[in-house]
Amino acid sequence: MTQPYGHGPQGPQQPQGMPGPHGAPWQAPGPYQQPPGPGWPQQQPPYGAVPPGGGPPAPRGPDGLSITALVLGILALLGAGLLNTILSVLLAVVALSLSIPAVNTARSARRPIGMAVTGLVLAVVAIPTRFVLLGLVFL
């Protein structure tokens, strides 16, 4: 009759391991025991704790280019409605030329793009507004 694996004719046999570092036979660690040796952490950090090297980088806000595009877009729209001068068109063109790179830069740096898009929309709206209001003045 065949014996199950690990059982001899005298009963279960103990595995013969290689001697450990101090001459005692090696024993496998228990299920909740840390393996011996240097470099193994003694305790896991609690959930949500910041690792020793620091955590993820803090989210950054919008950059100066987005803020400048937004401010110039607001000024261009106000200039188109209140002053109705060519300065409003120039401000809108500058805001437009700043807001497109600001959107691309913010998107690639994973920053918020809301201010840059708002500056872009205000600049695009300011140019036709100026000419529509100029046409209403001369009617």
Domain with 131 in it: 64-137
Q: Are 115 and 62 in contact (CB under 8 A)?
A: yes
Whether 134 shows a pLDDT value over 80: the answer reads: no
Q: Is residue 85 part of a domain?
A: yes
In this prediction, residue 100 has a pLDDT band, given cuts at 50, 70 and 90, of: very high
List pLDDT tens digits, range 18-75.
555 566 665 655 565 555 556 555 566 667 666 666 666 666 777 889 999 999 999 9
pLDDT for 41 equals 55
Written as one string, the DSSP assignment of 13-41 is ----PPB-TTSSBP-PPPTTSPPPSTTS-
pLDDT of residue 18: 56
Statement: residue 107 has pLDDT above 70: yes
User: What percent of the chain stands above pLDDT 90?
Assistant: 27
Q: Alpha-carbon distance 108 to 96, whole Å?
A: 19
The verdict on residue 96 lying in a domain is yes
Full-model pTM: 0.55
Question: CB-based contacts of 98: which residues, under 8 Å, 6+ apart?
Answer: 65, 68, 69, 72, 119
Specify the residue for token string 């690792």: 51
pLDDT band at 125 (very low <50, low <70, confident <90, very high): very high
Q: Per the domain annotation, does 8 fall within a domain?
A: no
Q: Within a domain: residue 98?
A: yes
- Asked if the structure places residue 74 within a domain, the reply is yes
Considering the domain boundaries, does residue 42 fall inside one? no
Token couple for 136: 């209403």
- Say what the pLDDT of residue 88 is: 86
Q: Is residue 5 part of a domain?
A: no
How far apart are alpha carbons 24 and 11 in whole angstroms? 24
Q: Total structural domains in the chain? A: 1
pLDDT reading at 5 higher than 70? no
Q: How far is CA 58 from the centre of its chain?
A: 9
Tell me the two tokens of residue 15. 């595995």
